[in-house]
Structure 1
Amino acid sequence: MPLSIFGYLGIIALIGIIVNDSLVLVSKMNTFLKEGMEFKEAVYQAGVVRFRAIFLTSLTTIAGLAPLMLEKSFQAQFLIPMAVSVSYGITIATVITLIILPVMLMVKNELKRRFHWARH
């Protein structure tokens, strides 16, 4: 399927959704850190607490776009690339937000802890 201008608009919308999901997770993690929780536990608890919100938001967005992706009418043909790019992008972004982002935060914190002497 060729990518049209609507497909590119879908990608731009997708960037906003990804940033929002990541902010929800990181914001909750920062709240736990301010409460005095250890970093590893704060990352874990943020994932546990915000899993439902992030997952259900992604799932309902994909479910809402599914009828458009399956539409066969001529009028919908222009919007189908946008729906496809957003749906697949959200699927991948949800995995990245819920799995890869916490891992990256843990690795960053561990590197910062081990190489604290290099900052000075």
Structure 2
Amino acid sequence: MGVELELHTGRPILDWRRSRKTFLRGSYAYGDELTGLLLLMADSGPGVLPHVDPYGDTTLDEQQAAAALREIPEMMTRCTSDAQVAAVQDLRSLLRACTETPGSYLWFVGD
């Protein structure tokens, strides 16, 4: 299953059923690939993505999402398959949407 991504209009309540009130869109297709890449990023030093816990829940606000967008090229260099590239492109799309939606949060729903 791996980590899933959900974009919310505001800070989500970290409870799947109750969080539906703020839900905008989600990504559930690349969980395993994204988990593997996040684990690889954990050794890359400072930044936002190295601190995302693929096994727990992590939320990013608009400013954190903007910082994470700058880390996408580094994550892309770690891809070894088309599925991983698709996972990073999907993440980039949701990070951009978060930065463009005032008050929004991107929720990394850990496995």
TM superposition score normalised by structure 2: 0.37
Structure with greater strand share of residues? 2
TM superposition score normalised by structure 1: 0.34
Q: Which has the larger radius of gyration?
A: 1
